[in-house]
Amino acid sequence: MSDISTTLAGIKLVNPFMVASGILDENGYTMKELLERGAAAVVTKSIGISERDGYPTPVIVEYGDSLINAVGLSNPGIENFGEEINIAKEAKRPIIGSVFAYNAEEFTKLSVKMEEYGVDAIELNLSCPHVKGFGLEVGSDPDLVEDIVNEIKSKVKVPVFAKLSPNVSNIIEIAKAAEKADAYVLINTVKAMAIDIYSRSPVLSNLYGGLSGPAIKPVGIRYVYEVKKETGKEIIGVGGISNYKDAIEYIMAGASAVQIGTALYKYGKGIFREMEWQLRTFMDEERFEKIEEMVGVAIKR
Amino acid sequence: MINLKIEENVKESQNVNTLYFNWDQDIRPGQFAMIWIPGYGEIPMSFSGLGRRKSITVKAYGSASRKLTELKAGDDLFLRGPYGNGFDVREGRKLLVGGGSGIVSLYPIADQETDALISAKTRDELIFKDRFPESRRFIATDDGSDGFHGFAHELLQRINIDSYEAIYVCGPEQMMYKVLQVLKGRKVFVQFSLERTMKCGIGICDSCSLGGKQVCKEGPVFNIEELIGNPEFGVYRTTYSGRRIRLNVK
């Protein structure tokens, strides 16, 4: 019988399947339920310094089995989020606190607060808009990324994961800027848009959104592969994972664990137990005893 | 988005209109759609009519819903769905317990033998009252301007609940919470249709969640057993930003 547990920055996970940030992770009871239904860990909604409504509806476009979302980082604010984490912790599985901000100071403040709430790790959402504007993301500026990661690492003791955006021209440069992080999370959403031809309007109230789901899996696989090959660092793969085969593909590209997001829309909460069973079957048949034996096996050097 | 045409707009009362449209989609009673009003937003709406000629009944309370009530025959209706689980419609005598606009979501369940308890704050806010014959309806208004002077759960206690095979409830959460207290432990089959702030409507954003369940996907209809012991039903709601607020239910 294969061992489907994995370890990530010293954190033991009973299986490689986590809940991705932004998916069913705003309410503590929901996170608790997903952990009880088999998710090995959950990444919280990305939390900011202040309460934020996010964008008005519509905030979602169904794009086949994929989604374009523009929820707009809606969140209750860090001061109001401790209660949700306390509820989620009743499930006794790792909680990773996701944070977003516009500068190193605020990222650090948020991370320290998340650590106080008792999260097991911090995930840095580097895809929020750069304070200088011009439509840039924080995560597209290597100097800023380096400052953020370094400052947080000097202040918190829990592991820090940097979630990298695919909307960059050189992801290796950004990954190296974040090299003090304990692991990378690859990828966040791809910039996207949809127009309704009968109303002749963009569908999302924010016009633009982030594409996630099966449509972006090949992008995620490539980035995990490239970054693992170039840096050797631990990676969590995320982007379009809908079944155990997708998860294994990410693991073979170099991920030590994967996050499930958009697939919950199509397959529901039972997806974790189902993938656990299927992964174990695959590993038995292909004679892998441990997840770590599969990590990065596809990488050609 | 699905693009349909408004066939007719019927005024029900001062702020309430029923919009009729043709749509061949099969929809179960209690399911809903996300209605898009370009430029004004998207709102979840249950169906008040479910034949091939379908309808939604809109109460104007915000800019999007007000704009919706102003649509005319020939105008475009944009929506996505249907979503949600819908009611388990049982054979036999049924009682619908509707608070405010709640009776609209329940109406598609009604048949010739169905009774309805319709409650509202005041007479002018009673909706669909005339869709039930006098012998099959119970009316309650908070201010006593029509029917029983008091709340739905109070009037419910004066009805022979055990004569029904099933009871379906929809209304403000405070009202439903009180109705649950009256009905729990009884033998009758009971379902509630819940409403929470919705954004995605498809079960991924966690906006409409209730004690771990997503109202848009695992609901909006819940059996009474699922709600008894739910840590949030009648206790908490969340703001649009996701901040938890304790409800004052006495």
Mutate to test the interface with B, among A21, A23, A26, A27 (most CBs of B within 10 A): A27
CATH number at residue A203: 3.20.20.70
Q: Using the beta-carbon criterion (under 8 Å), do A265 and B214 form an inter-chain contact?
A: no
Decide if A46 contacts A54 (C-beta within 8 A). Answer: no
Structure tokens at A172: 């290796």
A192 belongs to a structural domain: yes
Q: Is residue B89 in some structural domain?
A: no
Write the CATH number for B225: 3.40.50.80
User: Would you call B67 an interface residue with chain A, using a CB distance cutoff of 8 Å?
Assistant: no
Q: B135 and B198: one domain? A: yes
- List, in sequence order, every beta strand (DSSP E) within chain A: 6-8, 11-13, 17-19, 41-43, 60-63, 66-69, 95-99, 121-125, 160-164, 183-186, 190-193, 195-196, 201-202, 208-212, 235-238, 257-260
CB-based contact (8 Å) between A261 and chain B?
yes
Q: Is B242 left (phi over 0), alpha (psi -120 to 50) or beta?
A: left
Strands A121-125 and A201-202: unpaired
pLDDT for the residue numbered B177: 94
The verdict on B227 and B105 lying in the same domain is yes
Give, in order, the Cα–Cα distances in Å from A164 to each of A187, A235, B24, B79.
6, 11, 44, 34
Cross-chain residue pair B204–A264, CB shorter than 8 Å: yes
H or E element, residue B192:
strand B189-193
The CATH number of the domain where B13 resides is what? 2.40.30.10
**Does the beta-carbon distance from A24 to B39 stay under 8 Å?**
no
d(CA A160, CA A182): 5
Is A128 tagged catalytic?
Answer: yes
Mean pLDDT of B26-52: 94
Is the residue at B202 inside a domain?
Answer: yes
B-chain residues near A264 (CB < 8 A): 203-204
Distances, alpha carbon A73 to alpha carbons A23, A128, A279, B50, B89, in Å: 12, 8, 33, 36, 39
Q: What is the pLDDT along chain A (301 residues), one digit of tens a residue?
A: 799 999 989 998 999 999 999 999 999 999 999 999 999 999 999 999 999 899 999 999 998 999 999 999 999 999 999 989 999 999 999 999 999 998 998 999 899 999 999 999 999 999 887 665 657 788 999 999 999 999 999 999 899 999 999 999 899 999 999 989 999 999 999 989 999 999 999 999 999 999 999 999 999 999 999 999 999 999 999 999 999 999 999 999 999 999 999 999 889 999 998 999 899 899 999 989 989 899 999 998 7
Triad B133, B139, B142: Cα angle to 5°: 160
How close B68 gets to chain A, by Cα (Å)? 15
Residue A299 forms part of a structural domain: no
Residue A174 lies in a domain: yes
Using the Cβ of A226 and the Cβ atoms of chain B, whether some distance falls under 8 Å is answered with no
Domains of chain A: total? 1
Asked if residue B42 and residue B117 are part of one domain, the reply reads: no
Q: Please state the rounded mean pLDDT for residues B212-224.
A: 95
Pairing assessment for the beta strands B16-22 and B2-13 based on DSSP bridges? antiparallel
CA distance A274 to A276: 5
In a domain, B128, yes or no: yes
User: Is residue A73 left, alpha or beta, with left meaning phi > 0 and alpha meaning psi from -120 to 50?
Assistant: left
B39 and B99 fall within a common domain: no
Q: Do A53 and B202 touch (CB under 8 A)?
A: no
Classify residue B24: in a domain, yes or no: yes
Q: Mark yes or no for CB contact B41/A76 under 8 Å.
A: no
Nearest Cα residue in chain A from B36: A58
Domain count, chain B: 2
Give the pLDDT confidence score for residue B52 in this predicted structure: 75
Report pLDDT digits (tens) over A27-81.
999 999 999 999 999 999 999 999 989 999 999 999 899 999 999 999 999 999 9
A182 shares contact with chain B (CB less than 8 Å): no
Both B70 and B165 in one domain: the answer is: no
Q: What is the count of residue pairs from A and B with beta carbons less than 8 Å apart? A: 122
Interface contact A23, partner B, CB < 8 A:
yes
Q: Residue A1 domain-assigned?
A: no
Q: Which two tokens stand for residue B40?
A: 């004004």
Residue B140 placed within a domain = yes
Q: Same domain for B123 and B75? A: no
A212–chain B Cβ distance below 8 A for any pair: no
The residues with which B57 forms a beta bridge, in sequence order, are: B18
A300 in a domain, yes or no? Answer: no
ipTM over 0.90: yes
- Among residues of chain B, what percentage have pLDDT more than 70? 99
Q: Which residues contact A128 (CB under 8 A, 6 or more apart)?
A: A46, A73, A100, A101, A102, A137, A138
For the segment B41-59, what is each residue's pLDDT rounded down to a tens digit? Answer: 999 999 999 997 899 999 8
Edge-to-edge strands, sheet with B115-120: B148-149, B137-141, B115-120, B94-99, B166-170, B189-193, B221-223
Residues of A in contact with B203 (CB under 8 A): 24, 264-265, 268
* Structure-block tokens of residue B166: 């099933």
**B229 shares a domain with B159:** yes
Flag if A265 and B202 touch (Cβ within 8 Å). Answer: yes
Chain-chain contact of B206 with A56 (C-beta, under 8 angstroms)? no
Tokens 């014959």, residue located: B133
B127 and B232 in a common domain: yes
Q: Decide if A115 is inside a domain.
A: yes
**B88 within a domain of the structure (yes/no):** no
B181 shares a domain with B72: no
- CB B247 within 8 Å of CB B206: no
Q: Is B176:B194 a contact under the CB 8 Å cutoff? A: yes
Per-residue pLDDT at B250 exceeds 60: no
Pairwise pLDDT comparison (A174 vs B134), residue with the higher score = A174
* B138 and B193 part of one domain: yes
Could you tell me if B49 and B102 lie in one domain?
no
Alpha-carbon span B212 to B232, nearest angstrom:
9
Instruction: Establish if A161 belongs to a structural domain.
Output: yes
The residue among B83, B113, B134 that closes a domain is B83
Asked if A76 and B241 touch (Cβ cutoff 8 Å), the reply is yes
Does residue A301 lie in a domain region? no
Task: Point out the domain boundary residue: B34, B57, B83.
Answer: B83
Which of B51, B83, B115 represents a domain boundary (last residue)?
Answer: B83
pLDDT score recorded for residue A1: 74
Q: pLDDT, tens digit, for every residue of B180-205?
A: 999 989 889 999 999 888 999 999 89
Q: Is A46 annotated as a binding residue?
A: yes
The predicted pLDDT at position A130 comes to 67
- Does B140 touch chain A if contact means CB atoms closer than 8 Å? no
Q: Closest Cα partner for A208 from A187, A194, A189?
A: A194
Any known ligand binding at B170? no
In this structure, the answer to whether residues B34 and B120 fall within a common structural domain is no
Host domain of residue B223: 94-246
Q: Which residue has the tokens 């209706």?
A: B77
| Structural domain range at position A225 | 6-294
